[in-house]
Amino acid sequence: NLVQTDWVQEIKRLKKERNAVILAHYYQTPEIQDIADFIGDSLDLSRKAAETDADVIVFCGVRFMAEVAKILSPEKTVLVPDMEAGCSLEDSCPPEELAAFRKAHPDHIALTYINCSAEVKALSDIIVTSSSAEKILSQIPESQPIIFAPDRNLGAWLNRKTGRDMLLWPGSCIVHENFSETELLKLKQLHPNAPIAAHPECPAAILDHADVVGSTRAILEFALKSDSDTIIVATEPHIIHQMEKSAPHKTFIGAPGMDGNCNCNMCPYMALNTMEKLYLALKNKAPEVTLDEKTRLAAKKPLDKMLEMAA
């Protein structure tokens, strides 16, 4: 059993030995964020995975993110600290159900949020992330009927912002669904000048109070740029680590959940990844993400479209 400092040293040693790169999402623990070579939102991480020249990618995020890395960089070994790190949005949209829904709406194209399985991507026309969805939508003719899956909150927010009438799949993120409007308003009373930055996976009742709505990177950039010295953050609270690192003089408050504090808004899937599992993944070259080539190629098409349309 190694102590914390030894994990860091061992991970750095193995990373060199394996010519590996560590990519991490903002929802990972501070220790994992600090040892990562690159941290970003889903779009940034996809781009990074597509262009890295490392032999091994260790993806510290959830499984669908690591799958994207494998889809875009099939010649690389893609490792994850914990293969069980799923996502409630992915769970809400089984491929056979989406296939049946598409069949029932043959005139609709499928615009699909990146938070889904490779099999669901393979059934989709274009993938979007929260940072690229609006730009991509603006390139699709108004008259084109669209199915948007699996996040109904992001879909509803896009419908409201763009005046579209996309058909929404009834999925949601268990973390962002848990924010409480009542508790948020109480917090706002205590900090009337603090702007609220929210992720579009939040329900409309939360987004209605937000000063800015955007991806994790957009929320981070807003928090750092804001003139206010206190900012309320309505997304998974581990992102606050990056805010505190870059602006230690400011106060960042995680938006409260139903129990009145922000600890219940931690993503239980992201939390499965630990420094020990990251070390073991590099040491054992496992667990490794694998995909059958037919699914990979079919999933790559709508992902390539996203990268092209978001450029």
Kindly tell me the burial class for residue 282, based on how many C-beta atoms sit within 10 Å of its own C-beta (0-12, 13-18, 19 or more): buried
The DSSP H or E segment spanning 90 is helix 88-91
Taking CB under 6 A as the binding criterion, the range among 66-74, 100-108, 127-135, 252-260 that sits at the site for ligand 13P is: 127-135
Q: Is 151 in the site for ligand 13P (CB under 6 A)?
A: no
Among 72, 127, 175, 187, binds ligand SF4 (CB under 6 A): 175
Between 10 and 81, CB nearer to ligand 13P: 81
Q: Do 47 and 307 contact (CB within 8 A), yes or no?
A: yes
Q: Which of 307, 293, 311 is nearest to 70 (CA)?
A: 293
Taking CB under 6 A as the binding criterion, the range among 105-113, 119-127, 128-136, 153-161 that sits at the site for ligand 13P is: 128-136
Taking CB under 6 A as the binding criterion, the range among 82-90, 117-125, 185-193, 250-258 that sits at the site for ligand SF4 is: 82-90
Q: Which residue has the tokens 């040693």?
A: 13
- Cα–Cα dist 109/166, whole Å: 10
Annotated ligand binding at 267? The verdict is yes
Q: What are the distances in angstroms from CA 180 to CA 119, 151, 177, 281?
A: 33, 19, 8, 37
**Strand stretches in the chain, DSSP E:** 20-25, 38-40, 56-60, 77-79, 109-113, 126-128, 146-149, 167-168, 196-198, 212-213, 230-234, 251-254
Q: Which residues make Cβ contacts (< 8 Å) with residue 308, sequence separation at least 6? A: none
The nearest distance, CB 64 to ligand 13P, in angstroms, is 9
172 interface partner picked from ligand SF4, ligand 13P, none, CB below 5 to 8 A per type: none
Annotated ligand binding at 251? The verdict is no
Among 8, 50, 83, 174, binds ligand SF4 (CB under 6 A): 174
What one-character DSSP code corresponds to residue 141? -
- Cα–Cα dist 174/271, whole Å: 14
Among 28, 29, 33, 42, binds ligand 13P (CB under 6 A): 42
130 interface partner picked from ligand 13P, ligand SF4, none, CB below 5 to 8 A per type: ligand 13P
Q: Which of residues 169-198 bind ligand 13P (CB under 6 A)?
A: 173
Annotated ligand binding at 279? The verdict is no
Annotated ligand binding at 114? The verdict is yes
Q: Which of residues 271-300 bind ligand SF4 (CB under 6 A)?
A: none
67 interface partner picked from ligand SF4, ligand 13P, none, CB below 5 to 8 A per type: none
Among 115, 131, 159, 178, binds ligand SF4 (CB under 6 A): 115
270 interface partner picked from ligand 13P, ligand SF4, none, CB below 5 to 8 A per type: ligand SF4
Annotated ligand binding at 109? The verdict is no
Copy the structure tokens of residue 79.
């490792």
174 interface partner picked from ligand 13P, ligand SF4, none, CB below 5 to 8 A per type: ligand SF4
Annotated ligand binding at 87? The verdict is yes
Q: Do 161 and 214 contact (CB within 8 A), yes or no?
A: no
- Cα–Cα dist 149/115, whole Å: 9
Q: Which of 182, 197, 179 is nearest to 239 (CA)?
A: 197
Between 29 and 115, CB nearer to ligand 13P: 115
- Contact residues: ligand SF4, CB under 6 A: 62, 87-89, 115, 173-175, 201, 236, 267, 269-270
